[in-house]
Amino acid sequence: MATITITDNRDGKQYEFDILSPTVGPDVIDIRSLYQKTGMFTYDPGFTSTASCSSSITYIDGEKGELRYRGYDISDLATKRTYLDTCYLLLMDKLPSKTELAAFDMEIRKRSFVHEGLKNLFYAFPDSAHPMAMMSSAVSALSAFHYEHLDIKEEEEFQIMARRILAKIPTLAALSYRRSLGIPFIYPDIERSFTENFLYMMRAYPSAETLIRDVEIKALDTIFTLHAEHEQNASTSTVRGVASTGAHPYAAISAGINALWGRAHGGANESVIAQLEMIGTVDKVDEFIKKAKDPDDDFRLMGFGHRVYKNFDPRAKILKQLLDELKEDLGVDSELLEVAMRIEEVALTDEYFIKRKLYPNIDFYSGLILTALKIPKSLFTIIFVIGRSVGWITQWIELRHDKEMKIARPRQRYTGPVSKKI
Ligand code: ACO
């Protein structure tokens, strides 16, 4: 076993730690015995140098801009397979055969209905409620309707629990949207595929025909695939943190939804379009680039930068290509696109962005496609939730099978007063 020795230069004492190797990627120093051996903690706000678990689900090489789910390149999955293939892959650790996919697809369709009682929850929200607020509450409430998933033991039960949430999240997403507009709820249509069904539940009017074009299904399905998993990001770490306490899986997913909501994470897609609309015209781009570079201005170029990718986000590359291919068919807003392309051009050649390795991320392009699909801004992060639900639940299952997992309980460097008297 490879080891590393650290020397405390205050007293010259040396401590040895094992180095664990992954199948690919950086080695990790096993510091689990650090406190016991040295009486010290590590200090790593934001966990920039910390591996919180072992995982065999997703691999990211941020320097090269690579992303693989269960060993498969994201570009192959996004261009050659559907979102449901990817869900099966993540959950079952293998790509499905045709028969397996057909059975999985039918199971997801049949599980897409939610308890009639759950619909009542949506009437409690004010008209102004943001769909993400309704979504996280509804997913949390789902744990009351399927409480039996709290104590899962058999493999089959893990799969039922996972497929249930995967199937119901689009239905809850559509209910959140329709409630925010005050329009009648639409039941899932099991004649339709996963992605088509979601568009149907969003758009349909009772007893009227609903037009959903293949190009729209393809675009949204690709977006779902690209969002399906992304190892230990903020929302997934939240799901794992909640799961580590033994909470209900749907409560953990609800917590993940709330973590995703923030603008530094999944909420960025909503902010990107809001920002493009605010910038408005190509001639204003330079002014906003200047603001983004100003250290005294907290304005950030939304859709740029990533904690892990210090190169083009591979998901952004795929979406940019999709945007190029489908912009006419989808009817992408040409003015917004022009502003976005100008920002991309300026940022990719500007010293400030180059030096900090700030590239466009997935959110920079997804909003343009979602807008063309007539999905309102307030629902962009919900789209992310639908795609990511499979990743969260796969991580939840992995954690529950991991014998080394403990309750997530970091320590701190205390900086308050030592002791005060009343
Ligand atoms: N615009 C302008 N400057 C930026 C941007 C940006 N979008 N992102 C980072 N920087 C600058 C910072 O000001 C900092 O500069 P400094 O070194 O001079 O102080 C430097 O780049 C490093 O930034 P950090 O915030 O330390 O980087 P971190 O890795 O912690 O943050 C993050 C990554 C949160 C994604 C950040 O780049 C950001 O806020 N981007 C905009 C929001 C966004 O698009 N989020 C979506 C992420 S992708 C996803 O969740 C799917």
Tens-digit pLDDT profile for residues 86-105: 999 999 999 999 999 999 99
Tell me, what's the pLDDT at 312?
Answer: 87
Q: Which of 217, 105, 116 is nearest to 163 (CA)?
A: 105
- E strand or H helix at 94: none
Percent with pLDDT over 90 in the chain: 90
Q: Give the pLDDT confidence score for residue 152 in this predicted structure.
A: 94
The residues near 190 (Cβ < 8 Å, ≥ 6 apart) are: 109, 110, 112, 197
Pocket test for ligand 1, best of 226, 237, 307, 366 (most atoms within 8 A of CB): 307
CA 274 from centre of chain: 20
Q: Whose CA is nearest to atom 32 of ligand 1?
A: 306
Q: Select the more confidently predicted residue: 208 or 81.
A: 81
3-state secondary structure of 20: strand
pLDDT tens for 178-200 read 999 999 999 999 999 999 999 99
Residue 35: the pLDDT is 98
Supply the residues annotated as catalytic: 306, 363
For residue 332, pLDDT beyond 90? no
Task: Give residue 115 CA to ligand 1 midpoint distance, Å.
Answer: 41
Of 264, 224, 262, nearest to 366 by C-alpha is: 224
- Cα-to-centroid distance, 282 and ligand 1 (Å): 23
**Is residue 292 within 8 Å of residue 300, measured between CB atoms?**
yes
The whole-angstrom separation of Cα 397 and Cα 4 is 32
Nearest CA to ligand 1 atom 17: 356
pLDDT of residue 280: 93
Q: Is 200 in the pocket of ligand 1 (CB under 6 A)?
A: no
Question: Structure tokens of 98?
Answer: 């045709």
Q: In 3-state terms, the chain is what percent helix, strand and coil (to 5)?
A: 55, 5, 40
> Tokens at residue 99, please?
């028969």
Q: What confidence tens digit (pLDDT) does each residue in 8-31 have? A: 999 999 999 999 999 999 999 999
Residue 126's pLDDT is 93
For a mutational test of ligand 1's pocket, the pick from 272, 348, 358, 362, i.e. the residue with the most ligand atoms closer than 8 A to its C-beta, is 358
Ligand 1 center from residue 63 Cα (angstroms)? 16
Q: What is the mean pLDDT of residues 125-147?
A: 95
Beta-strand relationship, 14-20 and 3-7 = antiparallel
- The predicted pLDDT at position 209 comes to 87
Separation of CA 45 and ligand 1 centre (Å): 15
Burial 160-191 (b: 16+ CB within 10 A, else e): bbbbbbbbbbbbbbbbbbbbbeeeeebebeee
- Whether 268 is in the pocket of ligand 1, judged by its Cβ within 6 Å, is yes
Q: What letter would DSSP give residue 107?
A: H
In this prediction, residue 86 carries a pLDDT of: 98
- For 197-233, what is each residue's pLDDT tens digit? 999 999 998 878 888 999 999 999 999 999 999 999 9
358, 349 Cβ separation under 8 angstroms: no
First to last CA, the chain: 53
To test the ligand 1 pocket, which listed residue (285, 356, 364) has its Cβ within 8 A of the most ligand atoms?
356
Helix residue spans in 81-233 (DSSP H)? 83-92, 98-110, 116-123, 131-145, 155-181, 194-203, 214-227
- Short-list 50, 62, 154, 163, CA closest to 394: 163
